[in-house]
Chains A and B, each alone.
Chain A
Amino acid sequence: KAGVTQTPRYLIKTRGQQVTLSCSPISGHRSVSWYQQTPGQGLQFLFEYFSETQRNKGNFPGRFSGRQFSNSRSEMNVSTLELGDSALYLCASSLEQAARDDEQFFGPGTRLTVL
């Protein structure tokens, strides 16, 4: 069974640009969560999508947005990039909504560098 895949793996952008990252969950998984990892702030929760709806959102500005498609694939978008957005963006998928302690399977991440 294929794991969580994220594309692209590496990305370089300049300030002010926007970027879209993609995440394909494990087949059959319906929940997709996004996390940002930086040396200064560590791992922080961005948002979670389930059945094409954003269910939870972390404490990030509106420049960070996402969506989920009917096949559970998810994208996140960051507009008007800032230097501080340079980070490893991790996507995680889990099987179902009901079980609160669902294991989350993480992808390899997309490393975004903003120049």
Chain B
Amino acid sequence: AQKVTQAQTEISVVEKEDVTLDCVYETRDTTYYLFWYKQPPSGELVFLIRRNSFDEQNEISGRYSWNFQKSTSSFNFTITASQVVDSAVYFCALSANQDTGRRALTFGSGTRLQVQP
């Protein structure tokens, strides 16, 4: 079975601080995909990034960066110089073919990020 663990339930930072959201995953599949989604209070999940298991290159997109390490089964997400608008719940998710097929995402429990002004 596959599993995604986000150990940080809630993080509170002050604006302009950097913050890292942790994600650890488990899967027996050798080919899999990892995602990060943002869920603002409106409820809609907003796609941030996907990464396949063969691409361990880190990625930076503006203030966002992701660190994928297969050796530790982690896919961490860093927000640099956080802003109040970053306040949301962030979900890490895994897609593998093992159990319910390729389109089914297994989500972590989410990390609520509060950025104080």
Contact = CB atoms under 8 A, between A and B. Distances in A.
Contacts, number: 66
Interface string A78-115: 00000000001010101000001111111111010000
Interface stretch (B19-27, B60-68, B76-84, B102-110): B102-110
Contact of A56 (B44, B104, B106): B104
B103 A43 contact: no
B97 A100 contact: yes
Q: Secondary structure at chain B's binding surface: helix, strand, loop or mixed?
A: loop
A7 B95 CA distance: 27
Contact of B42 (A48, A105, A108): A108
Nearest to B6: A42
A27 B82 CA distance: 35
Question: What interface size band does chain A fall in?
Answer: 20 to 34
Contacts of A107: 44
Contact of B43 (A44, A104, A111): A111
Interface of B: 31, 33, 37, 42-47, 50, 52, 91, 93, 95, 97, 100-110
